[in-house]
Amino acid sequence: MAASGSKPNLMPKTLFIDTNKLPRVKMPQGEATEILNEQLAGAKNVLGTLRWLKSGEKYKADPSDKHQLLYLMEGKGSINLENKDHEVSKGMGVYLGPSETATFQAADGSSLKIFHLAVPKIPK
């Protein structure tokens, strides 16, 4: 409870993360930086990653015991789901349940910026 005459702190755990200042790491499939994890934000059950792919590069979200959301923030390319390619552009995305997979590929002459959120499967 707030002291008499003072305003309560409505967002005591709000954390601003400037993703432009986080280091990009060269990966076998493009570049990536974690933007939501335990070290940055105390997030124990979720991992948020930004991924960048250059023209022709691919990223495969491997099957796991996690729920995954991949959202295309910039660019155009394709997503391969169940061995079928789907053209995608900014604002599109895909949800993958545990054991599902998808492969993103940047179109020729384009690049992709992908927000990738992974949350562990909750045991029953």
Question: For 80-115, how does the pLDDT look when each residue is reduced to its tens digit (9 = 90+)?
Answer: 999 999 999 999 999 999 989 999 999 999 999 999
If one counts every other C-beta atom within 10 angstroms of the C-beta of residue 103, the result is 16
Instruction: Compute the C-alpha angle 79/82/85, nearest 5°.
Output: 35
The pLDDT of residue 14 is above 50: yes
- Residue-wise pLDDT for 33-51, tens only, equals 998 888 878 778 899 999 9
The pLDDT of residue 11 is above 60: no
Q: Considering the chain, what is the average pLDDT of its residues?
A: 87
Query: What is the torsional sign of CA 59, 86, 90, 96?
Result: negative
Give 32 or 121, the one with higher predicted confidence: 32
Distance between CA atoms of 112 and 124, rounded to whole angstroms? Answer: 36
pLDDT at res. 10: 61
User: 92, 38 in Cβ contact below 8 A?
Assistant: no
